[in-house]
A and B are shown apart, each in its own frame.
Chain A
């Protein structure tokens, strides 16, 4: 039903990225509301089990009961996972895309565990009841219970996707392969749907429960189709994005200028990103998140991309005139998060892109804004000329740190940060860079006295 929905399943891959931050005060209510809604659904599902279970008797009663609960939760949670990735605007803005992706990836592992537990517990429980072995019970279940064979395929698909998403294997896969494998989760959800209604103790003869289950799945399917399929098409028709220029900024780093109509309607804030789908052979099938690397102009946007994988490498060959579908703007890594007069931006590598847009546009008096820019070599410093012009015009601080760590040492220690930036604890700090870097910077900032709620970070991973 929704296997053809375009778009990527997660956004924590490819080059620069998204927003979302722990302890952000302005958006704290929406994540809490989202968590509460998810929890309420889980309680409702457990209530369904509770209402339909008169007693738990004997070992098989315990096993089957546990199997039913895990099964119900898995069936419910897979819709939550799909909904988290459905690009629902209130979640994208309020929770932040990178946090959604984290929830999705944690929840994904959890759902795979639930589905596997459900399968094993039910087989075991039924085997104990029938006094047969688990192998023969497995055969019986698959061959005689309606739709169970399909559900077995579904659980194997989920386990397969879980394995390739695991930390150990994932880096060895091309992003594209991994991305395509994720579509099988739609197939798994669809395959598993039948056996819930056909065999689920809670659903047989329980019309309201059946209708609620249908409503849940159909609702999520509609949301997916609407936000991931129809909305990008509508935006494309309205804004007609087209590539106008492709410029090499540094070795392996390119900027793409994209023209569009009625950009003011998008209400873009510097620091945000779009999911871009370039309509050329080899690129059209995936929408990748790239931040705007300049404050939006009236009819032109700019993104800057580092060569980090097949997709970003393919972008270097894009010709002006290429049509683009864009979803967005997304992300809350913007000036709205700021609570103090003084602002420090810390960029690592190509993580400069959203910070470049903020450096240009975030309101600040001369002396109140500082950019710390870490790069491996001086050739890797993209936007150097632009940054220096902005710095001169706005009277802001601009500090580079260039060179391998073995030579220059760790630039992100509490001591060095305090020495570089006077009154550091009074700043809002925006951090964007590779995970390894943000993992060192954030503890150093905390140690230097910056409260957690004033550290805003955006991570991008390969």
Chain B
């Protein structure tokens, strides 16, 4: 019995210590007002952290809004949290080479919307001489924090796979099976439309 109590105490203490060693605010200066109530500060929090988040995930040109949904939810409460969620639809997912879409000689082809268990997935391709030079995710599930964090890991992987394979024959990203399936469907439809 004494050993059981000891184990519980050691585990609980260890947990608290481990958690307490992690940073508890994203940008130390703005943290307190942001958390308490001030919506602009909350937004600033989300924005401030956006490059860090997307940088870590390797997505390149992360748009502030979407990243705000991820971590902003942790920090900013109330109004600050709802705002990015609403605005984050098309374009909130970055894509490899997506910015090349505007240059001459390139063609943009949208894929069909593929419905998955967690929500619709849609991609569009940037094509140059029948070659995929970019993939942009127009929409993907991001309603819950889990969806967002899963997809912000998985989509860049899928983008790279698509660029490498130059087709829709790409591997499913484990842990993001549904998104992967939807991605492949939408990608295939875009390729079909482009006649590839």
Does B150 make an interface contact (CB < 8 A)?
yes
For A49, give the chain B residue with the smallest CB separation: B18
Contact with B along A202-220 (1 / 0, CB 8 A): 0111000010000000000
Which residue of A60, A69, A205 has the most chain B CB atoms within 10 A of its CB atom?
A205
Contact with A along B147-186 (1 / 0, CB 8 A): 0011001100100000000000000011111100000000
| B56 vs chain A, min Cβ distance (A) | 7
- Flag if B174 contacts A197 (CB, 8 Å): yes
Cα of A427 to Cα of B35 in the assembled complex, Å: 69
Q: Which residues does chain A contribute within 8 Å of B77, judged by CB atoms? A: 58
Q: Which of B24, B153, B157, B176 contacts A57 (CB 8 A)?
A: B24
Given contact pairs A55-B25, A57-B24, A204 touches B176 in the complex (Cβ within 8 A): yes
Q: Which residues does chain B contribute within 8 Å of A126, judged by CB atoms? A: 146
| A123 vs chain B, min Cβ distance (A) | 13
Stretch at the interface among A3-11, A106-114, A268-276, A293-301: A106-114
- Flag if B175 contacts A197 (CB, 8 Å): yes
Q: Which residues does chain B contribute within 8 Å of A110, judged by CB atoms? A: 7
Which residue of A56, A62, A69, A113 has the most chain B CB atoms within 10 A of its CB atom?
A56
Which residue of B11, B53, B149, B173 has the most chain A CB atoms within 10 A of its CB atom?
B11
Does A164 make an interface contact (CB < 8 A)?
no
Interface residue ranges of B104-132 to A (CB < 8 Å): 117-118
Cα of A375 to Cα of B133 in the assembled complex, Å: 87
Q: Which of B8, B145, B177 contacts A198 (CB 8 A)?
A: B177
Does B194 make an interface contact (CB < 8 A)?
no
Q: Which residues does chain B contribute within 8 Å of A130, judged by CB atoms? A: 144-145
- Flag if A106 contacts B19 (CB, 8 Å): no
- Flag if A69 contacts B18 (CB, 8 Å): yes
Interface residue ranges of A37-76 to B (CB < 8 Å): 46, 49-50, 53-58, 60-62, 65-66, 69-70
Q: Which residues does chain A contribute within 8 Å of B4, judged by CB atoms? A: 109
Given contact pairs A199-B175, A205-B157, A129 touches B73 in the complex (Cβ within 8 A): yes
- Flag if B153 contacts A205 (CB, 8 Å): yes
| B78 vs chain A, min Cβ distance (A) | 9
Cα of A145 to Cα of B75 in the assembled complex, Å: 24
Given contact pairs A205-B157, A210-B174, A56 touches B149 in the complex (Cβ within 8 A): no
Q: Which residues does chain B contribute within 8 Å of A198, judged by CB atoms? A: 174-175, 177
| A182 vs chain B, min Cβ distance (A) | 20
| B62 vs chain A, min Cβ distance (A) | 14
Contact with A along B33-52 (1 / 0, CB 8 A): 00100000000000000001
- Flag if A61 contacts B7 (CB, 8 Å): no
Q: Which of A60, A70, A145 contacts B146 (CB 8 A)?
A: A145
Cα of A446 to Cα of B185 in the assembled complex, Å: 75
Does A395 make an interface contact (CB < 8 A)?
no
Interface residue ranges of A77-131 to B (CB < 8 Å): 106, 109-110, 113-114, 126, 129-130
- Flag if B117 contacts A144 (CB, 8 Å): yes
Does B22 make an interface contact (CB < 8 A)?
yes
Does B98 make an interface contact (CB < 8 A)?
no
Does A146 make an interface contact (CB < 8 A)?
yes
- Flag if A205 contacts B175 (CB, 8 Å): yes
- Flag if A203 contacts B18 (CB, 8 Å): no
- Flag if B174 contacts A57 (CB, 8 Å): no
| B60 vs chain A, min Cβ distance (A) | 15
- Flag if A205 contacts B74 (CB, 8 Å): no
Q: Which of B20, B117, B145, B175 contacts A129 (CB 8 A)?
A: B145
Does B100 make an interface contact (CB < 8 A)?
no
Q: Which of B56, B145, B146, B175 contacts A54 (CB 8 A)?
A: B56
- Flag if B74 contacts A204 (CB, 8 Å): no
Q: Which residues does chain A contribute within 8 Å of B178, judged by CB atoms? A: 146
- Flag if B150 contacts A57 (CB, 8 Å): no
Given contact pairs A57-B26, A60-B74, A129-B74, A201 touches B149 in the complex (Cβ within 8 A): yes
Cα of A53 to Cα of B71 in the assembled complex, Å: 12
For A63, give the chain B residue with the smallest CB separation: B19
Given contact pairs A144-B118, A205-B157, A210-B174, A56 touches B146 in the complex (Cβ within 8 A): no
- Flag if B26 contacts A55 (CB, 8 Å): yes
- Flag if B174 contacts A55 (CB, 8 Å): no
- Flag if A113 contacts B3 (CB, 8 Å): no
Does B29 make an interface contact (CB < 8 A)?
no
- Flag if B56 contacts A57 (CB, 8 Å): no
Cα of A70 to Cα of B75 in the assembled complex, Å: 23
For B155, give the chain A residue with the smallest CB separation: A205
Q: Which of B18, B75, B118 contacts A46 (CB 8 A)?
A: B18
- Flag if B75 contacts A58 (CB, 8 Å): yes
Contact with B along A141-184 (1 / 0, CB 8 A): 00011100000000000000000000000000000000000000
Given contact pairs A65-B22, A69-B18, A58 touches B144 in the complex (Cβ within 8 A): no
Does B23 make an interface contact (CB < 8 A)?
yes
**A-B contact sample (16 more), CB < 8 A, given A57-B25, A210-B175:** A50-B18, A54-B56, A55-B23, A56-B19, A56-B22, A57-B24, A57-B74, A58-B74, A58-B75, A69-B19, A114-B11, A146-B178, A197-B174, A200-B175, A205-B157, A210-B174
The 8 tightest CB contacts between A and B, nearest first, are: A205-B153, A204-B175, A57-B74, A56-B22, A55-B23, A65-B19, A66-B15, A56-B19
21 CB < 8 A contacts A-B: A46-B18, A50-B18, A53-B22, A54-B52, A55-B23, A56-B24, A57-B26, A61-B24, A66-B15, A69-B15, A109-B4, A114-B11, A129-B73, A145-B146, A197-B175, A204-B150, A204-B154, A205-B154, A205-B176, A210-B174, A210-B175
